[in-house]
Amino acid sequence: MIKILIADDSAFMRKVLSDLFAAQPDFEVVGTAINGRDAIEKVKQYDPDLLTMDVQMPVMDGLNALAVIMEIHPMPVVMLSSLTKEGTDETIRALSLGAVDFISKAGGSISRIDTIEADILAKCRAAAKANVRSAVAGARAAERAEKEREKKKTASPVMRHIDLPRHAAHEAPKEPPERQPSPFASAKRENPLLKPRSKVFMPHSTSSAEAAQPTAGGGKLVAIGTSTGGPQALQSVITRLPKDLPCGVVVVQHMPPGFTKSLAQRLDSLSAVHVKEAEDGDIIRSGCVYIAPGNYHMRVSGSGGARKIVLGQDPPVGNHRPAVNVLFDSVAPIGRRLVAVIMTGMGSDGTEGMKKIKAEGGYSIAQDESTSVVYGMPKSVVDAGLADEIRPVTDIARAIVAAVER
């Protein structure tokens, strides 16, 4: 039995959703909340298995409530959001904060709930199985370990006292030599969560000479596939990538149309690398991340250095468009110059493509169980013996950089 709490400022919506779930044999409605603050208190009171929560509510909105809940009582949350531009941006923020999934309100309302009942129930049943609490605990533990490693690296070295020879009495002290700039002076430590002041994308047209030049890094490429829990995982990984990453990155995140652009824009605002929603014909450049648009398969064409994005709307593969397997199939011929990453998500999308990648000599990294919201896609790859490395989400960026530099 799934114990569910419903948070919505609309009495009508609370009633409609309560009736829907109460009619199901596997749900128990343990309570309702009228705003974000009330939701926090009810979560503490009822300890539900699942929370559905509207984004826009008075007193405290759903986003602020979600941030608090993920801090004090991590649990599966499904957000209700409109299909407006503002609603899309809010949904991406919610997913980045840890929400497992979202339900779109067509036209800003789901008063015609009969048209999306099946979608609501399917998403809520799947979300209830998400490994949110342990994933948050695992990510926090990995982050503490990461900070400890950085602390040890930056610890001040022990200074030794050295007696320097004194100048002879008859000899005037020499002028100190002109200070030479340190070869490391330009290597400033950058905060990966801060967006550079200027990010300029070259046009994706192949008409410019620069666009036709091979990508740096020996023609290497990074391909990432993810699904449920992906926006938060992608934020953890992409914000840790250095802006001088010597290759491009292509990403498939299972997501419907209209949301991938907001996801790319949010990640771009937080990252040192460039992040954009991929367009057909984009030339893949070093230090740039390309996210497949919703409802389009993404492939990579070309060999050697000059590679480009090819988008298509051929039939879904495994009920997914974009599909990770489609992307992985297209990049498998890159062979030893490819680094493929599979992260949190339901099902097994990406496993068949990873088999081809490994057959061609590519390198693979899988997210570990402890930090995966849903350990489905990574588990499938790991169980098939296809993972060269299994890493917590906070270590994946470091593993990518190390693999690219080999």
Q: Please list the active-site residues.
A: 227, 254, 349
Phi, psi angle pair for 27, to nearest 5°: -120, 145
| Residue among 237, 389, 248, 219 at smallest CA distance from 327 | 248
Interatomic CA distance for residues 125 and 389, integer angstroms: 31
- Position of tokens 């000059």? 306
Cα torsion angle, 382, 320, 119, 231, sign: positive
Q: Is 157 exposed, middle or buried (0-12, 13-18, 19+ CB in 10 A)?
A: exposed
Interatomic CA distance for residues 78 and 51, integer angstroms: 6
| Residue among 288, 278, 281 at smallest CA distance from 310 | 281
Provide the terminal-to-terminal Cα distance of the chain, rounded to the nearest Å. 50
Quick check: 393 and 236 in contact, CB under 8 A? yes
Interatomic CA distance for residues 48 and 51, integer angstroms: 7
Can you tell me whether residue 342 is helix, strand or coil?
strand
Interatomic CA distance for residues 93 and 121, integer angstroms: 23
* Strand partners of residue 31: 5
Quick check: 6 and 30 in contact, CB under 8 A? no
Q: Which helix (H) or strand (E) holds 28?
A: strand 27-33
Quick check: 138 and 370 in contact, CB under 8 A? yes
Longest dimension (CA), the chain: 101
Interatomic CA distance for residues 339 and 222, integer angstroms: 5
